Amino acid sequence: MSDMIRRVGDTERRYVMEVLDTEFRSSKGSLMMKRLEDAFAERFGVKYAISHVNGTATLHSAIAAAGVGVGDEVIVPPLTMSATSFAVLHNNAIPVFADVDPDTFNISPQSIRNCITPRTKAIIPVSLYGLPCDIDEILKIAQEYNLVVIEDDAQCFLGKINGRIIGSAPHMASFSFQSSKHMTSGEGGMIVTNDLELATKVRRFSSLGYAGVGAAKGKITKADIQDPNYDRHCSLGWNYRMPEICSAVALAQLEHLEELVQRRIDSAQLFASVMENFSWLTPQRIPAGFESSYWTLAVKLENPEISWHRFRDKFKENGGHGVYAAWKLTYFEPMFQNMQLSGREDFLGQPFNKGKLQTYSNGLCPIAEYLQPRILQFKTNYWNWDEAEQQAEILKRTIRELDK
């Protein structure tokens, strides 16, 4: 194992310089974006990859492509970053929260089934902390009810189920290149799909509704626009196209993605090994046949004498880098509690105003509500292995001190 990994190296710099050397001439535009999309589609075993400015825009586009509209329902987990639910609201639809599995922390297929109504149009399962969601079971439910599945894999690059890289099974899958993710360009994202119609809809939605773009074509040409009779926009769309410089960095990151992912796996396994003999610390369960890419190592703290803050403070006192907390459940965020939805609370009408659907209060998703304040998230992005080993020793000492 290499002691040191460069997260951003010479290839990223060389590709960025290739973009700068074009001086952003429109005749050279989107060349790097095209290279990235083709390489991403090949690496993840899909027909189409459509790049975006970030991993929230990807979900916005995918939900729109799925035909979700005003008052439709989309099933989401509450235990994840709130952008998953925001994208549903961006489409003037209603996020419906399904509970999670107590051991994997991922959305529960049975809870999904319990949430389905005649207004349900789509499901967005999240592969939380790098662990693939139970996509095969979720797809069975979706097929039974004719629902679209959009897998949110922002935290899961190269996660696998029975050797199959996730992202190719659902109707669409979304990836994020935000700075904390396995591969990054600072910001950015990607939608992948094997469906030509969905890919075309995603592209047009994210590219100002241009008639001249398509599943595998991300930019209109001079030949298109040098015509006074050219009809540019065939539908309403947003400007979510990924910039060339970000595409250049993402392409270079993709080329050594295995190395970046493996370092996180190694770090997580190192940290998990020091917890093995302490029953009150339980890492996220990886089911048989599943492979996590460990965006973070998520651990359930269950000791009535040790609070979350006490553990965090003792770890930092000993020289640890600290511990991240799980996000507050989305429906407990002030925007949901106070219905500050930028007018959508009125636009959507009765479901929000009169409580016809879910009530955002204690007991809505009891398993998620139990887990959230008990989850310890340990960082895994240790590019210096000596630092990872040092932190593991600090963690071991912290656990032993608290276990007295």
Judge contact between 160 and 132, C-beta under 8 A: yes
d(CA 165, CA 160): 4
Residue of 155, 149, 110, 108 lying closest to 128 (CA atoms): 155
Q: For residue 386, what are its two tokens?
A: 């000596």
Region class of 370: left (phi > 0), else alpha (psi between -120 and 50), else beta: alpha
d(CA 156, CA 190): 13
Considering only CA atoms, give the Rg of the chain: 22
Q: Is the dihedral of CA 323, 326, 332, 334 positive or negative?
A: positive
Q: Which one-letter amino acid corresponds to residue 101?
A: D
Residue entry with tokens 């009408």: 349
**Catalytic residue list:** 181
Q: Which one-letter amino acid corresponds to residue 266?
A: D
Q: Which one-letter amino acid corresponds to residue 313?
A: D
